[in-house]
Amino acid sequence: MAQGRVKALFDTGFEEGPAPAAVHFENVGVRYGMGPEVLRDLTFSIEPNSFQFLTGPSGAGKTTLLRLILLSVKPTRGLISLFGEDVSRISKDELTDLRRRMGVVFQDFRLLDHLTTYENVALPLRVQGKEETSYRNEVVELLRWVGLGDRMHMLPPVLSGGEKQRAAIARALIVRPDLLLADEPTGNVDPSLARRLLRLFIELNRLGTSVVIATHDFSLMDQLSVRRLVLGDGRLHIDE
Amino acid sequence: MKQPRSTQPAKPEEGQRPLPASLRRNAPLVPVDSAGGQALAAVIAILTFLAALCAGGAELVATSSSQWRSDIAREVTIQVRPNAQRAIEADVDRAVALARQMPGVEQAQPFSKTESERLLEPWLGTGLDFNDLPVPRLIVIKLKEGARPDFTPLRQALKEQVPGASLDDHALWVSRLSTMANTIIGVGTVLVILVLVAAGLAVTFATRGAMAGNREVVDVLHFVGANDDFIAKEFQRRFFALGLRGAAVGAGVALVLTTIVGFVTSSWRASPAGDQIEALFGSFSISWRGYFLVLLIALAVAVITGIVSRLTVRRFLNENG
């Protein structure tokens, strides 16, 4: 049922979407130092309200591609535009504005160990200068939804891998981003929680967020019939 | 089940438990209170202590020299040298009369022959017959408070009516004293500036270290939408707190030390060494201006710490993309 809902939204989104693509790559290539290109000739778009998996074998460059979208790695060639803006010419303030439209779940979670789970999840709102009273309920509600209601005042070092992952996902979702990038978001959770988290991503997508989930978990991908971006040998193949 | 929540103003929702009060921890986003942060606070405390001592010392000299100059400037001396052809007592009386006629003079007091001879005893010893020595006679003139008379007419009158008399307004001595005091104050000021610069440099290195050590924190802050200014402000807030703590300790120790030294020197006051120290530095206790100066330096160090850390973070972020 969830698949159908996502598919329906996916289809109608394309028909109604005058908005620019959330992400557009045109012949993008990346190399580290003087080494060979790890990614080459990447040309694809991530449309608004779309849902896709990014897959490929380990070391294929999934994380690098996500970092290109996050603008933490600069392409050595090609053109990248985010939400219709050519990122090669944006200022630092514009970069910040773009990042505020994105939520990211890192493979290694990247929670701040000196902040509680609650503070980690509330971090994107705090850096935007919002008052705690304005987001407190929302953060607590989300933490309860991901099963961390009784862990909200604990520091990340005492959380399990799965709990850290859920906290990282909650942090990415709290701002209801226009684009969600998740790197192996279900890698440390059991299958039932993985399904629950996937439902959360689908719900977010239903509310208008474009979702990119990087994974090599075929059982997860098989639960949804959505577009797959497949990386291999540094090139991208798209399974519609 | 509906439960009221006293910890937050939002409207209660169905089935929601009360929120724990510990949510409002408001922890700093950049953890600089590490061992490095404590070391920086210690360095700032030491530098503030040194700067406070320099400033306090300069202020002490400034106050004392001001007193010296005021005292010396209010005193003028006429020296009447003995002359075999003249009656020295009459010359002294004449000089005193001329001095008393001068506007701005409060008192003109001649030293008697015995008093003049007593002045030489520390150098020549007691028991000597001073009748064979041409001991000059001194007249000490005290000026009225704030009076700055022109001594030219008195000099001229003495030259005409009391040959052998000379007037010393101590201008040379005051000038030398001023130069010495100003030099000490200048050196103290330069030392304070150098210490503040050293504090700034220490903060620069510590901030760069903290930035490198918290690279991952900075990356995460960027990814969740923090701009450079937000991150710089966070570092500034943390370093300002560290600087304020270090500066307060340094300034506090300096003030306590000054108070103790002042107390000890006051207990020595009756001894010759105490007299010398008091003659040089006054009572060895800094005035309210001195206390204010020390507190100002502590505040300046804390502000410098905050500003330098912020500028360093901005520069570091610009350099490192």
Task: Flag whether A192 is in a domain.
Answer: yes
Cβ-nearest to A153 among B10, B23, B217? B23
Work out the average pLDDT over A180-192: 86
Task: Flag whether A30 is in a domain.
Answer: no
Is residue A143 located within the same domain as residue A235? no
Cβ-nearest to B226 among A127, A152, A175? A127
Work out the average pLDDT over B69-74: 78
Q: Domain boundary residue among A126, A144, A176?
A: A176
Work out the average pLDDT over A137-142: 92
Q: How many domains does the structure of chain A reveal? A: 2
Which has more confidence, B248 or A12? B248
A82 φ/ψ angles, rounded to the nearest 5 degrees: -120, 125
Q: Per the CB < 8 Å rule, is B223 touching A110? A: yes
Question: How far is the C-alpha of A216 from the C-alpha of A219, rounded, in Å?
Answer: 9
| Band of pLDDT at residue B15, cut at 50, 70 and 90 | very low
| Pairing outcome for strands A85-86 and A77-82 | antiparallel
Rounded to a whole number, what is the distance in Å from the CA of A127 to chain B's nearest CA? 5
Look at A129-143, B131-145, B172-186, B190-204 and tell me which has the smallest mean pLDDT: B131-145
Cβ pair B73, B170 in contact under 8 A: yes
State the pLDDT at residue B13: 42
Is residue A147 located within the same domain as residue A198? no
Residue of B nearest to A121 (CA): B224
Work out the average pLDDT over B35-43: 85
| Band of pLDDT at residue B105, cut at 50, 70 and 90 | confident
- The predicted-structure confidence for B142-198, as pLDDT tens digits, reads as follows 888 777 788 888 888 888 888 888 888 887 888 888 898 899 889 999 999 999 999
Rounded to a whole number, what is the distance in Å from the CA of B64 to chain A's nearest CA? 53
Is residue A190 located within the same domain as residue A161? no
Q: Per the CB < 8 Å rule, is B24 touching A132? A: yes
Which has more confidence, B92 or B67? B92
State the pLDDT at residue B5: 34
Work out the average pLDDT over B63-92: 82
Task: Flag whether A230 is in a domain.
Answer: yes
- The predicted-structure confidence for A70-108, as pLDDT tens digits, reads as follows 998 999 999 999 999 999 888 988 999 999 999 999 988
Task: Flag whether A9 is in a domain.
Answer: yes
Which has more confidence, B266 or B42? B42
Q: Domain boundary residue among A160, A176, A192?
A: A176
Q: Per the CB < 8 Å rule, is B227 touching A96? A: yes
Which has more confidence, B143 or B24? B143
How far the first Cα of chain A sits from its last, in Å, is 20
Cβ pair B141, B75 in contact under 8 A: yes
Residue of B nearest to A114 (CA): B31
Is residue A96 located within the same domain as residue A190? yes
Task: Flag whether A193 is in a domain.
Answer: yes
Is residue A200 located within the same domain as residue A239? yes
State the pLDDT at residue B300: 93
State the pLDDT at residue A2: 40
Cβ-nearest to B225 among A112, A114, A124? A124
State the pLDDT at residue A194: 85
CB contact set of B262 (below 8 Å; sequence gap of 6+): B283, B284, B285, B286
| Pairing outcome for strands A85-86 and A102-105 | unpaired
Cβ pair B191, A68 in contact under 8 A: no
Residue of A nearest to B14 (CA): A141
Task: Give chain A's mean pLDDT.
Answer: 87
CATH number of the domain to which A1 belongs: 3.40.50.300
Give percent above pLDDT 90 in chain A. Answer: 53
Rounded to a whole number, what is the distance in Å from the CA of A4 to chain B's nearest CA? 31
| CA A43 and chain centroid, separation | 19
In 3D, which of A102, A113, A110, A11 has the Cα closest to residue B219? A110
Q: Per the CB < 8 Å rule, is B10 touching A137? A: yes
| Band of pLDDT at residue A187, cut at 50, 70 and 90 | confident
Give percent above pLDDT 70 in chain A. Answer: 92
State the pLDDT at residue B189: 92
Q: Domain boundary residue among A145, A176, A207?
A: A176
Look at A2-16, A158-172, B119-133 and tell me which has the smallest mean pLDDT: A2-16
Is residue A166 located within the same domain as residue A204? no
Which has more confidence, B29 or B249? B249
Task: State if pTM tops 0.80.
Answer: no
Is residue A97 located within the same domain as residue A14? yes
Residues of the domain holding A187: 1-19+49-76+91-101+177-240
Rounded to a whole number, what is the distance in Å from the CA of B311 to chain A's nearest CA? 17
